[in-house]
Structure 1
């Protein structure tokens, strides 16, 4: 399935961002001699064919629009249709109140009578219009047939879209401590949220798992110090190549035999020789696509933080070492890779190159719908410290009456929460920047009306549409439509109200919101129970079967802080009573709860979630019988080191002086920025 591109003409201008990248790409503009290295050829100007029904290469206009519109989207934060609101006297004596309840939301301008709105996100740019069209295709494919009028019932269960033909190998490229694992896991979380089957195959995890098995078998502890990563040691080089090949085979087997869609090979893959092997292996299976993802970091402070995180987070490679010893060894490991690092310059390769995790992005030969989706997601990432705050609207009149949906006003207790929310926010962020997003429904806009921050309304944040059941109580639904009431309990994520939506539909609707959230810094979303469940599941990487049962209580602020290996969560309940609208998972369904998920059992009728931000250094690999005795002593011609012109001693992304990195590490330790606690909070 291909993303529908906008119309283009033959004279359409190609964005410079889509030109070939790397040192050789400059030859199109500068009169420079061609490279003398026979192994490194200029990246040719790719020819983009028109997409066909089977999903061909993505139109360059779409990707050009993606990069050219990044700044435009940022400017749209100050949309002239959006206005800030300022707190006004909220006491009972205020002329805007009657019996302690506001007659209208206080606004900064006397000419405004409601919280201003902005256009739906998807309508703002040509690129996002195209993305909206693609999500419509997904939704159309996931719709269940409409029941005949004679059939009792109101809704149907939505089937998962067929992604079986999507098979992509994503091979990471880059030096150690450049954010490859961070990007791998972010991408996995995003695609899983969209219901693609995704796994990360980390070569380091495979190496550590095999070493642990060997140690348990009495073969002694393997030496995985910097010496193991020396490219001048034939035995160590052969062992690393074998690990990379085994990891790739595991990935491809998983894609073919276990219904995988995207397998991410998390490894350095820093030489042309290694990447050629990957290309040749993937090419043996014509149904597989290959996308390289190169992470380049030139900021010494970011690299220093990554180094400190590596040596302080329990890596078994450094067990028993002091921080200083581990730091020296890891920097020596990086130096070993720097000696042979070759940035991607090979012709005909599909790849993305990301500088400083989203600061700049280059793309080449991005093909098909899913690759373009991956590329667009990667363009929206950044590393700035930030938090996402989630809050349901204050208690509404419909909440008190037990009704679902609707557009009712806040109850008196809901207004109390709205007035208390500004102080709760201020206590957590101080005078820091914050933008407030609400739905277009009255109860969310009223809840945010006292907040002195810029506000934007999103149609995409409206509550799950209950269709013909809108305004009914669950008791009324059970009495009038008993079969459908049971069907929804049996499969709450996929059940769609007639004329309404399912949770699956809401996830598709929220994808543009996720894209924009990844671009932003501090954001407060005042939303609805189903909407916040979907967003929460994205950040905490929770599976779909648990998503509809996440407890998001009224009058509680949830703070989610992205970290290196996950998200931390804190909850701040206010002592303002409210009804409990949480419907627990039926007992007959609880036995299906997945294992190995970040869930703690609390009361029998609710699920309580726990933050997980620690890195997994071993993964969930099966016991391995392959030991070091299988590594050949002699290195064949196929595994010899790159020599002569193949070695690129200072390739793209290596302009980080060792002195600058050492200085950044020392400065971080002195200021406390690189202590274990500070690193965890980054």
Structure 2
């Protein structure tokens, strides 16, 4: 029989098990103060909520005339202990979310097995969730601390004393930096990207980390698909190690490096270690000794969805962006003209890349609003699949809609001040925030991770900013100010080491 509760208000008991129960902050975020210039003149809530106060692309100024502007993502930027991620649910005094402690994810695998690609994409996803994660690439340390090394350096068991000493010094440097990240920067996950090909060294690393209360989770990337391996070798030959090299020479040199590693490489089979075998980049997974903690489970879930990307993501604004939030009229003549110009420009872009038409497997995503669904009809005529996603509805300005800047300040003085302090998280009454949009778009972001083909996303600027922020590892202080002029398409290309974005001007089809 269920116990009866007689008192009207139940008391919450003190926790019987010590833990991080009281670590949540009263203020969930540390507001990122935005310095406003004195000559700004915002005239409506649409401009306040939708248009950027300054047109920036990841802190690099970009205007409609800068058509050749290229930007690289910020995933290799080390985040500080004050970092707040775009989709972060809450903050804690310890900096560690989900009560999962400190975890070092150790990549294992021979060269050209996609370790760097995997480490970067995994770091991007974990940061997006709010996990304070940093990358530690052995290759970066090697390039920074040495002026080039013989191939013997890449032998996991080098015969040369000099090569063995260099390997150990660099390894110690990486481990020390990771420990510092955990101890001084409130880090939660360090991702260690190196071959790590010797069993005894993996066991020693796990012990070193465990002695410092850091859990070690190993991910071994294996490839038995020869075609995939050859593609990976071609990508690896474009890494920072081979700047200004001829392609064939770089590939030949990289294959020598693989041969050197293969001499001593030992595949993982240590029963006492927690490891995941990641085969053919997500084709199969084998998990050993999993502790089933929350973050390890999230990592496994991500690995099940992760694919090596071969396409690009294209962003385009929808037409008629000055409508009120609840308005949903059909597309007008100006919008139809924009659709024609947009499709013609994109088709010309693919033709300039040697293709005769749009890629057959290209997908178009739009919101469920008429001005985006009808705009996408032009792409249906080219045989492309179009999907209408209700999650991509623009930001709701709530009670701030239609109010001028002065009216907002007069009617909502506290909200106005808070919005200027933190335009990413703040909501006006009955409005959305960018943070709300980031949480709403997470299922589409995971779907994007599963796809290998080109995607064209047609949506309001508020939606494009959040998608862009994920792909380019933008901070939540930058996202509200990223500029997407309607006369441009933004293209993001996937790269094993970093994503790149550049702008394509939309041409007038009547004049071309």
Q: TM-score, normalised by structure 2?
A: 0.71
Give deviations 1:583-635, integer Å, cap 9, x for gaps: xxxxxxxxxxxxxxxxxxxxxxxxxxxxxxxxxxxxxxxxxxxxxxxxxxxxx
Residue equivalent to 1:558: 490
> Tell me, which stretches of 5 or more residues in structure 1 are unaligned?
1-51, 56-136, 144-159, 213-221, 577-682
Aligned to 1:372: 297
Aligned CA distance change for structure 1 residues 570 and 327 (closer, same or farther; 3 Å): closer
Take 2:410 and 2:426, find their aligned partners in 1: how far apart are those partners? Answer: 18
1:207-606 paired onto structure 2 within 5 Å = 207-212=142-147, 223-226=149-152, 229=155, 231-233=157-159, 235=161, 236-286=163-213, 288-315=214-241, 327-364=251-288, 365=290, 367-398=292-323, 405-409=325-329, 410=331, 412-429=333-350, 430-433=357-360, 434-452=362-380, 453-470=384-401, 472=403, 474=405, 476-520=407-451, 521-574=453-506
Shift of 1:266: 0.9
Q: Deviations over 1:416-439 (max 9, x none)?
A: 213433333433441422222122
Trace 1:64-103 onto structure 2 (pairs within 5 A): none
Aligned match of 1:170: 105
Matches within 5 A, 1:40-79: none
Tell me how far apart the structure 2 counterparts of residues 322 and 379 of structure 1 sit (CA, whole Å).
36
State the Cα RMSD in Å.
3.3
Residue 359 (structure 1) shift: 2.8
Point out the more displaced range, 237-246 or 369-378: 237-246
**Mapping 1:175-194, distance limit 5 Å:** 175-194=110-129
Q: In structure 2, do the counterparts of structure 1 residues 366 and 557 end up closer, same or farther at CA, with 3 Å as the change threshold? A: farther
CA distance 1:446–1:396, change in 2 (3 Å): farther
Residue 185 of structure 1, CA deviation: 1.4
How big is each residue's C-alpha offset from its partner over 1:299-331, in whole Å with a ceiling of 9 and x where there is no partner? 33443344444445452xx79987766655533
Q: Decide which structure has the larger Cα Rg and report it.
A: 1
Q: By how many angstroms is 1:505 displaced?
A: 2.2
Q: How far apart, CA to CA, are the structure 2 residues paired with 1:142 and 1:228?
A: 41
Alpha-carbon distance, 1:268 to partner: 0.7
CA distance in 2, matches of 1:282, 1:457: 47
Residue 265 and residue 361 in structure 1: after superposition, are their counterparts in 2 closer, same or farther (change >3 A)? Answer: same
Q: CA deviation at 1:229?
A: 2.3
Task: Output the CA distance in 2 between the equivalents of 1:473 and 1:441.
Answer: 26
Aligned counterparts of 1:483 and 1:514: Cα–Cα separation in 2: 34
Q: Is the 8 A contact 2:154 2:261 kept in 1?
A: no
**TM norm structure 1:** 0.55
Unaligned 5+ runs, structure 2: 1-16, 21-86, 351-356
3-state secondary structure, aligned to 2:136: strand
Deviation at 1:298, TM superposition (A): 2.5
Q: Distance in 2 between matches of 1:165 and 1:418?
A: 48
- Any residues of structure 2 matched to 1:641-660 within 5 Å, and which? none
User: Is the 8 Å Cα contact of residues 154 and 260 (structure 2) preserved in structure 1?
Assistant: no
Q: 1:227 to 1:559 in 2, by over 3 A?
A: closer
In structure 2, the CA distance between the partners of 1:546 and 1:295, relative to structure 1 (3 Å rule), is same
- Counterpart contact for 2:345–2:507, Cα < 8 Å: no
